[in-house]
Structure 1
Amino acid sequence: MTVNRSEAWNAALRLGAYYSALFMAVGIQLPFWPLWLKHHGLDPSQIGLVLASTYLVKCIVNPLVGHLVDRRGERRRPMVWLAVAATVTWLGFTVADGFWPILLLTMVSVGLWSGIMPVGEALALMTTHRHGIDYGRVRLWGSLAFIATATLCGRLLVGHSPDVLVWMIAAALALTALSCAALPDTRVAVAERGAAPPLRPLITSSAFLLFLAAGSLNAAGHTVYYAFSTIHWKAAGIADDTIGLLWSEGVVAEIMLFALSGRVVRRFGATGLLLIAAIAGIVRWSVLGLTCEVPALAAAQILHAATFGCTHLGAMHLLRTVPAGLAARAQGIYAAVAMGVVPGLMSPVTGHLYETLHGHAFFVMTGLSALMAVAAFYLFRQRTAL
């Protein structure tokens, strides 16, 4: 494959801008949105239900968007419209009050937002393959943006109302819309789509089912962390800016992994990375369940490079083996099941777990990581593409 360096550089720059804008929004919403929910009177069980809706809506939106995108062959234009709609609906949180209005608005706004991601990953994988770009080195710009926004947001919240989060997330989503409009217009040709294999053999294969199981258990294993770590650490007396640094620190390690992604994937393989992620999860969640001492938390947060970074790299490199005409649907199914249904069903349980067990709820996540290790081990033994 002949690579035009100028075109490759241009494509990498556009993808980097997209990931930066997208993960600016994630860097604000993921660590700190539970504080906004709590500020508006929601108790831990209600927070768990609201966050569960953000997962469960993916099981409808992502496969539907993936189906429509694969049918039309376009990638960029649907992403732009989804980002614009997500920006407009997110501003509804400026007037939303009470559990039910917040829940319904969450389902709409996050549904639109989540629809962008699997299509963006399909576009990114096709573009990086076409131009010979290292996917991890493009994706790391999203992690850098996450760090910057999580750190700055943590500092901004010191002495300020959580209501400012609504405007910050809406602004980041507007930037995401602009960055989507600048993406390479990567499409699947009509002839290629017509020749694509049917979906059923993929979704019934043992390798794909083990892959979904490993990814689902990993995502479910992060639910207590995403929903209640900020609240738990704040209750333990840790300052908002320190919490922002703890979130950011894990992503620094993730960035280092992504910067070396080519070597790491060649050394361990995609399935080997999933197994590493599971073992790291057992250690990480056990530490978070045992203590709120900042030095111990800081050490455990380094393992985010494995629990999230290795899982993501492994998943994306496995999904790269799917035929181009199925790429958006495969991404949609993975996002719907592993990032939607399973953690969505787990989230209401995490609210109850945190109410009853508090920090010891992290030990349940340790058990889920152990189950992930079993699925990843059997997938590793198969040594096959999807």
Structure 2
Amino acid sequence: MLPYHGQLALKGKTKIVNIPLGAILDINHMTRTPPKVSTRVSGLFAVHFFGFGLFLPFLPVVLEFRGLSAEDIGFILGAGTITRIAASPLLANIADRTGQRRLAILIYSLAGAAFIGLFCGPAEIVLIGSAVVGYMVFQSPVLPLSDAYALDVARNTGTDYARMRLWGSAGFVGATLVGGTLAAQATNWLLLLLIAISALMTGLVAMSMPSQKRGDRTGEPDRADQAAPFASVWFWPVLAVFGLFQASHAAFYGFGTLYWQAMDVPDFTIGVLWAIGVVAEIGLFAIAARLPIRMDPPVFLLVAGIAAVVRWGLFPLADTFAAMAALQLLHGLTFGAAHLGSLAILAKVVPSRWSGTGQGLLATSIGIQMAIGLGVCGALYETDPDLPFYLMAAVAAVGVLLVLALTPLMRRRMAAAG
């Protein structure tokens, strides 16, 4: 892990110190946050992702039980995706401007739960569509704002962001297991109830957390009044590359299950393969702060891109469970390493005050490129089911080349911000 220079205030004097990758990946030399704070942040991720883990895989099943056609379901989810992409940075920016991230999470969570309540009304497409789109819009800024709060905790106290974030992945896994047992017509109402309860709990957990002082733990001046990099030309290609790495999962998210089913892989085995990927992600988050080879953020992105080239390039060739499982283990790198590297860079170059907006813009970058990727992969899948995965390998290779080209710029910007 390459050091970044910072300042340490000691008895009225200023001393230059080296700070490796901030508090996001390294906690060995820093003061730990009180356990209750890190536990509540972990709980915030867990309850939010529990609801997301019920909504994402199982809402189409609920909509089908409500009498909607596949065309109606596609239209509603498409409309929700477009509005979510647009709403995320705007709603996150409102929270940043007011300085009330916890209150914003509460308000957005209550609004999301209220929209789920519309399912109690008549099963009409307009009402159901409003419920889905409204929920997606108001849930869209919750994760960026949660990440912003967690990064402030990491900045101010040295707590390991990755260890807090892994509980979100664990919550998602738990939700898929619970949702699988409730995905029946007689119990679909319970799925909706749990999604609403998860949204409510997210808001309550957010309000239980203490106000997080902005600025950083080393005694540097608070960067709240500094200009955010959003108006700078260099910021946007960097943000696009961050989104590109996550969008390279489009073929798998959209068609991975269908691909395995066409290969006659049993449904239970497919569930196990999905779980292996998320467990690998959790494993990386758990050990990120103690990796024997310390890496700076751009190197995390390079590792993620190389792993994606291998994973997607070999995906169509894996015809045994062992081979499929081995490739799924790479999810810890293709998603996890890309996520940690992106957040570490944003935490460095975006002032704390605008961290929620920065995370919202990252979510939008991912969403736009993911939507494009799903559309292209859908057309390719009709032609040849192998082609979308080879395309994703090529996309990841382009991402690696772009990171290599942009790494000097990113390091300069991180050093200047530090």
Question: What TM-score, normalized by structure 1, do the two folds share?
Answer: 0.84
Alignment of 1:191-230 (within 5 A): 196-199=225-228, 201-206=229-234, 208-230=235-257
Q: Distance in 2 between matches of 1:356 and 1:205?
A: 38
Q: Tell me the residue number matched to 1:68.
A: 94
Alignment of 1:54-203 (within 5 A): 54-93=80-119, 104-154=130-180, 157=183, 165-186=191-212, 188=214, 196-199=225-228, 201-203=229-231
Gap regions ≥5 residues in structure 1: none
Gap regions ≥5 residues in structure 2: 1-7, 9-28, 216-220
Cα displacement string for residues 218-272 of structure 1 (whole angstroms, at most 9, x for unaligned residues): 2322223223333443454444443332222111111111112223497121111
Instruction: Kindly state the Cα deviation for residue 142 of structure 1 after the two structures are TM-superposed.
Output: 1.3
C-alpha spacing 1:319/1:96, structure 2 compared with 1 (3 Å): farther
Instruction: Kindly state the Cα deviation for residue 17 of structure 1 after the two structures are TM-superposed.
Output: 0.6
Q: Tell me the residue number matched to 1:327.
A: 355
Q: Distance in 1 between matches of 2:258 and 2:304?
A: 25
Instruction: Kindly state the Cα deviation for residue 129 of structure 1 after the two structures are TM-superposed.
Output: 1.7
Q: Tell me the residue number matched to 2:52.
A: 26
Alignment of 1:233-252 (within 5 A): 233-234=260-261, 236-252=263-279
In terms of mean alpha carbon deviation, does 165-174 or 303-312 score higher? 165-174
In terms of mean alpha carbon deviation, does 158-167 or 247-256 score higher? 158-167
The two structures, once aligned, show a CA RMSD in angstroms of: 3.3
C-alpha spacing 1:209/1:304, structure 2 compared with 1 (3 Å): same
Cα displacement string for residues 151-210 of structure 1 (whole angstroms, at most 9, x for unaligned residues): 343455499876764344333323323322222322559xx88962233x444242x334
Instruction: Kindly state the Cα deviation for residue 124 of structure 1 after the two structures are TM-superposed.
Output: 0.8
Instruction: Kindly state the Cα deviation for residue 12 of structure 1 after the two structures are TM-superposed.
Output: 0.4
Query: Would you say 1:365 and 2:389 are equivalent positions?
Result: no
C-alpha spacing 1:378/1:99, structure 2 compared with 1 (3 Å): farther
In terms of mean alpha carbon deviation, does 162-171 or 292-301 score higher? 162-171
Q: Distance in 1 between matches of 2:375 and 2:75?
A: 5
> Which residue identity is paired with 2:110?
V
Q: Distance in 2 between matches of 1:212 and 1:187?
A: 26
C-alpha spacing 1:345/1:364, structure 2 compared with 1 (3 Å): same
Query: Would you say 1:275 and 2:302 are equivalent positions?
Result: yes
SS in 2 for 1:198: coil
Instruction: Kindly state the Cα deviation for residue 58 of structure 1 after the two structures are TM-superposed.
Output: 3.4
Q: Distance in 2 between matches of 1:157 and 1:48?
A: 19
SS in 1 for 2:225: coil
Q: Distance in 1 between matches of 2:271 and 2:340?
A: 24
Q: Distance in 2 between matches of 1:223 and 1:11?
A: 35
SS in 1 for 2:400: helix
Cα displacement string for residues 269-322 of structure 1 (whole angstroms, at most 9, x for unaligned residues): 111111111111122223333456433322211111011100110111111112
Is this contact kept in 1: 2:113–2:196, CA < 8 A? yes
C-alpha spacing 1:17/1:106, structure 2 compared with 1 (3 Å): same
C-alpha spacing 1:182/1:164, structure 2 compared with 1 (3 Å): same
> Which residue identity is paired with 2:156?
R
Q: Distance in 1 between matches of 2:381 and 2:146?
A: 34
> Which residue identity is paired with 2:48?
L
C-alpha spacing 1:367/1:104, structure 2 compared with 1 (3 Å): farther
Q: Tell me the residue number matched to 2:313.
A: 286
C-alpha spacing 1:227/1:142, structure 2 compared with 1 (3 Å): same
C-alpha spacing 1:268/1:306, structure 2 compared with 1 (3 Å): same
C-alpha spacing 1:356/1:145, structure 2 compared with 1 (3 Å): same
C-alpha spacing 1:298/1:36, structure 2 compared with 1 (3 Å): farther
Q: Distance in 1 between matches of 2:291 and 2:413?
A: 17
Q: Distance in 1 between matches of 2:123 and 2:382?
A: 23
C-alpha spacing 1:160/1:272, structure 2 compared with 1 (3 Å): farther
> Which residue identity is paired with 1:373?
V
SS in 2 for 1:260: helix
What is the aligned length? 379
Is this contact kept in 2: 1:223–1:350, CA < 8 A? yes
C-alpha spacing 1:195/1:159, structure 2 compared with 1 (3 Å): closer
C-alpha spacing 1:105/1:233, structure 2 compared with 1 (3 Å): farther
Q: Distance in 1 between matches of 2:247 and 2:79?
A: 14
Larger radius of gyration: 2
Q: Distance in 2 between matches of 1:290 and 1:104?
A: 42
In terms of mean alpha carbon deviation, does 161-170 or 270-279 score higher? 161-170
Work out the percentage of aligned pairs sharing the same amino acid.
30
C-alpha spacing 1:263/1:54, structure 2 compared with 1 (3 Å): farther
Q: 1:9 aligns with which of 35, 38, 48?
A: 35
C-alpha spacing 1:233/1:155, structure 2 compared with 1 (3 Å): farther
Instruction: Kindly state the Cα deviation for residue 123 of structure 1 after the two structures are TM-superposed.
Output: 0.8
C-alpha spacing 1:232/1:101, structure 2 compared with 1 (3 Å): farther
C-alpha spacing 1:271/1:102, structure 2 compared with 1 (3 Å): farther
In terms of mean alpha carbon deviation, does 65-74 or 351-360 score higher? 351-360
In terms of mean alpha carbon deviation, does 371-380 or 339-348 score higher? 339-348
> Which residue identity is paired with 1:300?
L
